[in-house]
Amino acid sequence: MTTLSAELDHDAVNLIRGFAMDGPLNANSGHQGTAMALAPLAHVLYSRLLKFDPANPTWADRDRFILSAGHASILQYSMLYLTGHGLGLDDLKAFRQWESATPGHPEAGHTAGVEVTTGPLGQGFANAVGMAVAERILGARFGTEAIDHHTFVIAGDGCLMEGVSHEAASLAGHLGLGKLVAVYDDNHITIDGKTEIAYTDDAPARFRSYGWHVIELGEVANDLDALESALLEGKSVTDRPSLLVLRSHIGYPSPNHTDSPAAHGLAFKPDDVTRTKAVMGIPDEPFWAPANVVDAYRSHASQRGAAANQEWTARNADLIKSPGWIACWNSTGVEGWSDGLPVYEQGAKVATRKAINAALDATVEAIPGLVAGSADLTGNTGTKLAGQSAQSAANPGGRQIYFGVREHGMGSAMVGMALHGGVIPVGGTFFVFVDYMRPAVRLAALSSAKACFVFTHDSVGVGEDGPTHQPVEQLATIRAIPDLHVIRPADANETVAAWKDAVGHDGPTALVLSRQDIPVVTDGSAVEFGAGIVRGDGDPDIVLVATGSEVAVCVEAFEQLAATGTSARVVSMPSWDRFDLQNTGFQRGIFPPNVPVLSVEAATTLGWHKYADDVIGIDRFGASAPGDVVLHNLGINVDHVVERAIALLAN
Q: Exactly one of 107, 115, 228, 407 is catalytic; name it.
A: 407
Q: Are residues 468 and 540 in the same domain?
A: no
Residue 87 lies in a domain: yes
Q: Are residues 443 and 483 in the same domain?
A: yes
- Residue 551 is part of a domain; what is its CATH number? 3.40.50.920
Q: What angle do CA 97, 100, 103 make, to 5 degrees?
A: 70
Q: What is the number of other CB atoms lying within 10 angstroms of the CB of residue 212?
A: 23
Q: Any idea what DSSP says for residue 196?
A: G
Give the model confidence (pLDDT) of 285-330 as tens digits.
999 999 999 999 999 999 999 999 999 999 999 999 999 999 999 9
Q: Are residues 298 and 426 in the same domain?
A: no
Domain that holds residue 622: 527-650
Residue 341 lies in a domain: no
Q: Is-catalytic flag, 407?
A: yes
**Domain end residue (candidates: 487, 519, 551):** 519
Residue 641 lies in a domain: yes
Q: Are residues 138 and 19 in the same domain?
A: yes
Residues 6+ apart with CB under 8 A from 579: 529, 530, 531, 573, 587, 590
- Per-residue model confidence (pLDDT) at position 319: 98
- Per-residue model confidence (pLDDT) at position 247: 98
Tell me how far apart the alpha carbons of residues 212 and 206 are, in angstroms, rounded to a whole number.
9
Residue 435 lies in a domain: yes
Phi, psi of 67 (to 5 degrees): -95, 90
Give the model confidence (pLDDT) of 392-429 as tens digits.
999 999 999 999 999 999 999 999 999 999 999 999 99
For 105-116, what is the mean pLDDT? 98
Residue 1 has pLDDT above 50, yes or no: no
Give the model confidence (pLDDT) of 23-63 as tens digits.
999 999 999 999 999 999 999 999 999 999 999 999 999 99
Q: Are residues 470 and 381 in the same domain?
A: yes
Q: Are residues 456 and 593 in the same domain?
A: no
Number of domains forming the structure of the chain: 3
**Domain end residue (candidates: 519, 553, 582):** 519
- Per-residue model confidence (pLDDT) at position 3: 78
What angle do the packed helices 163-175 and 203-210 form, to 10 degrees? 40
- Residue 29 is part of a domain; what is its CATH number? 3.40.50.970
Residue 332 lies in a domain: no
Model confidence at 651, pLDDT cuts 50, 70, 90, reads: confident
Which of 131, 130, 109, 194 has the alpha carbon at shortest distance from 157? 194
Q: Are residues 492 and 382 in the same domain?
A: yes
- Per-residue model confidence (pLDDT) at position 480: 98
Containing H/E element for 182? Answer: strand 180-185
% pLDDT > 90, the chain: 99
- Per-residue model confidence (pLDDT) at position 550: 98
State the pTM of this model: 0.97
Q: Are residues 629 and 506 in the same domain?
A: no
Residue 576 lies in a domain: yes
Q: Are residues 514 and 532 in the same domain?
A: no
Q: Are residues 77 and 141 in the same domain?
A: yes
Q: Are residues 115 and 254 in the same domain?
A: yes
Residue 270 lies in a domain: yes
**Domain end residue (candidates: 283, 311, 339):** 311
Bridge partners, 216 (sequence order): 245
Q: Are residues 551 and 477 in the same domain?
A: no
- Per-residue model confidence (pLDDT) at position 264: 92
Half-sphere exposure of 104 (CA within 13 A, CB side): 11
Residue 141 lies in a domain: yes
